[in-house]
Copies of this chain bind each other. A is one copy, B any other.
Amino acid sequence: MPHFLTTLAADFETRFTALLGMKREDSPDVDAAVGQIIADVRARGDVAVLELTAKFDRLELTPETMRFSDAEIEAEIARVPQAEREALELAAERIRIYHARQMPPNAMWEEESGAKLGWRFTPVSAAGLYVPGGLASYPSSVLMNAIPAKVAGVERLVVVCPTPDGKVNPLVLLAARIAGVDEIYRIGGAQAVAALAYGTDTIRPVDKITGPGNAFVAAAKRRVFGKVGIDMIAGPSEILVIADGQNDPDWIALDLLSQAEHDASAQSILITPDEGFANKVVEAVEKRLETLERREIAGASWRDFGAVILTRDLAEAAELSNRVAPEHLELCVADPEALAQEITHAGAIFMGAWTPEAIGDYIGGPNHVLPTARSARFSSGLSVFDFVKRTTLSMMTPEALRQIGPGAEVLAKSESLEAHGLSVRARLDALNK
């Protein structure tokens, strides 16, 4: 049974705070080991990467075979069935259209003094994308990471993806090909992150690294942050569903389970003002759990971290959701657009019963890389913004300097930064001559 809370209960605040503070992830401390791996790759380059790949992935490579050749990629993707190829292409097209709208505009304006101010966006030159191997090797994640980079104008986009025992996921290669990835290497773990950040003889360094990974990959990303940019470090997935009583309980049950099946540490929360409906959803979850392929994982997640919260009304539901700041939020209510206006913190909102969150995971268009662990309070999902940076622009005129230069001089003096003040004063003196 999931946690069951009602806002009418005297101990609600205590229990809700406990739910918010619940520690769901117990990541092993691999930081010291990762530090050694990074130091090794920095010192020995390709040799270290190849040794570590032999050790962890049981795969003997050479500098020449580290990278997938075009012929290998073609041979692998030829094995992908037509239905999956078409689905990936449709998804890619929709993700591309959505993200193309995100491209932020440059700006430049002129003040009365003739001074010009503005900014310009430029793409990151080279980006690396980590793609996990094995079970969590998701072609959809390749699209979600690679397409925003290419839309932003990243010239060189590199994928690293481990192939333990040489096992390759052809869908990952196809997704990379569709998204326009330029280089694909069959390496993974902290050694792949280090190779991307510092470069080796075979792999030129990149400027930014994104993509999900295990504890080693997360620790390596944290360590190379600063040398290169990184995206967020994702935690276990979450969904919060606000539903009124007019929904099909089985649909809502499946939406809750579609997060729970990701990971035993995932969290699925239903908030509803309708107690009878809540009970029906719980029953529907139990029934689906009898047959679901990943019932062990989904069942553990639902039992340990799942929650059902009864509220007085939908407004109260929105307030509680804002305190959770969920990664995914479904609004299965009569007027979801109105309720969405009350939402202040959420990674993504799925409005109405015809928008199961799985649509957003694959094919809706918005990104599925979203802030977890309540970080939607201060951060956003992956986007084109992660692959561009902004340069501010200023161009003064003599008249502008005459107007605002003295103020800068006063402030420089007040901060005891004499040369700052003098650099303005020397110009003002030339104007006054």
Contact = CB atoms under 8 A, between A and B. Distances in A.
B377 A416 contact: no
A394 B292 contact: no
Interface string A82-103: 0110111011001000100110
Interface stretch (A7-15, A186-194, A249-257, A310-318): A249-257
Interface string A131-144: 00001001110000
Interface in A356-403: 356-367, 370-371, 373, 375-381, 383, 385, 389-398, 400-401
A229 B346 CA distance: 15
A343 interface: yes
A366 B410 contact: no
Interface in A23-61: none
- Oligomeric state, in number of copies? 2
B351 A83 contact: no
Interface in A113-127: 116-117, 119-120, 122, 124-125
A394 B258 contact: no
A290 to B, nearest CB: 13
Nearest to A259: B419
Contacts of A404: 90, 94, 359, 363-364
Given A294-B419, A379-B229, A414-B171, A394 B140 contact: no
Tell which of A363, A378, A405 has the most Cβ of chain B within 10 Å.
A378
A381 to B, nearest CB: 6
B261 A119 contact: no
A185 to B, nearest CB: 20
Contacts of A410: 83-84, 86-87
Given A337-B395, A427-B251, A411 B366 contact: no
Contacts of A214: none
A35 B99 CA distance: 40
Nearest to A381: B392
A375 to B, nearest CB: 7
Contacts of A381: 390, 392
A15 to B, nearest CB: 20
A298 interface: yes
Contacts of A245: none
A292 B380 contact: no
Contacts of A365: 117, 394
A262 interface: yes
Contact of A419 (B207, B208, B292): B292
A221 to B, nearest CB: 12
A17 interface: no
Contacts of A351: 116, 393-395
A337 B394 CA distance: 10
A401 B251 CA distance: 14
A104 B383 CA distance: 14
Interface string A327-351: 0000000001100100111111111
A199 interface: no
A258 to B, nearest CB: 4
A75 interface: no
Given A418-B294, A424-B358, A350 B91 contact: no
Given A87-B407, A407-B91, A394 B358 contact: no
15 contacts: A87-B407, A87-B410, A101-B107, A139-B411, A140-B411, A171-B414, A207-B377, A228-B378, A257-B419, A261-B418, A261-B419, A336-B395, A348-B392, A356-B427, A358-B408
